[in-house]
């Protein structure tokens, strides 16, 4: 398959990424729309959900990614494999999160994964990070109890910051007593996770669950 040239990083604060995007009709994308959903935020080339979708044909997987060319390439690969329970969607999640959640069947949204979300580990790039207090607040407003959120990072400072954002919000509860989750609950590792483990470097993981809801609708 022809490889499309991919930019290594984009600045999510750039003007181009401040517009909301048109959401597709999910019913026409997922033939089994009533199945459970798994949302993977910042999926990059999407190899994690590509493998997960093949292992779990009865779960619908949706990956969101800000680099549009990656999304195009991943959807081509999905088509090549004839997978009907997988879709990749281009957006800046910090602009489109509320709209995206409104469009999804939230009672069926079982998992959200946010894995190695930030290439932005320098302090001066704080504002570019995905998991902000506002981001967590939107999740709290829309998600149903029992939706689980799995996060992991190879940068301890970022992992701690993400945990702080979830823990300061009363609608989420950490699902383990030890500071970090020992094992990845999923049988597939992301590209970044594989690269980190291959270097024998630590991965900081945490699991949260929604414990109460405040629905704006």
CB of 123 to ligand SAM, least distance (A): 17
CA distance to 24, 42, 165, per residue, from 38 (Å): 17, 13, 21
CB of 74 to ligand SAM, least distance (A): 11
Catalytic residue numbers read 118
Q: How far is the CB of 27 from ligand SAM (least distance, A)?
A: 23
SS3 call for 55: helix
Judged by phi (left if over 0) then psi (alpha if -120 to 50, else beta), residue 146 lies in left
CA 90/CA 80 separation, integer angstroms: 19
Of 43 and 50, the one with the shorter C-beta distance to ligand SAM is 43
- Site residues (CB under 6 A) for ligand SAM? 12, 42-44, 64-67, 92-94, 115-117, 119, 130, 190-193
Is 118:129 a contact under the CB 8 Å cutoff? yes
Closer residue to ligand SAM, CB minimum distance, 67 or 205: 67
Could you give the CA distance from residue 104 to residue 73 in angstroms, rounded to a whole number?
23
Q: Which residue is nearest to ligand SAM (CB)?
A: 42
């Amino acid at each position: 398959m022809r490889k499309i040239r991919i930019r290594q990083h984009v600045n999510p604060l750039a003007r181009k990424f401040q517009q909301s995007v048109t959401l597709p009709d999910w019913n026409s994308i997922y033939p089994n729309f009533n199945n459970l959903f798994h949302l993977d935020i910042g999926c990059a080339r999407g190899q994690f959900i590509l493998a997960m979708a093949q292992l779990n044909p009865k779960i619908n997987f949706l990956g969101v990614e800000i680099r549009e060319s990656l999304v195009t390439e991943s959807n081509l690969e999905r088509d090549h494999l004839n997978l009907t329970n997988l879709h990749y969607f281009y957006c800046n999640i910090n602009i489109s999160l509320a709209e995206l959640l409104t469009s999804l069947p939230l009672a069926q949204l079982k998992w959200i994964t946010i894995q190695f979300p930030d290439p932005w580990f320098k302090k001066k790039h704080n504002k570019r990070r995905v998991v902000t207090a506002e981001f967590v607040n939107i999740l709290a407003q829309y998600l149903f109890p029992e939706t689980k959120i799995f996060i992991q990072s190879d940068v301890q400072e970022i992992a701690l910051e993400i945990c702080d954002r979830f823990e300061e919000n009363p609608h989420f509860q950490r699902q383990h007593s030890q500071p970090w989750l020992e094992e990845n609950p999923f049988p597939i590792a992301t590209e970044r996770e594989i690269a980190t483990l291959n270097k024998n470097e630590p991965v900081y993981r945490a699991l949260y669950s929604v414990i109460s809801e405040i629905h704006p609708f």
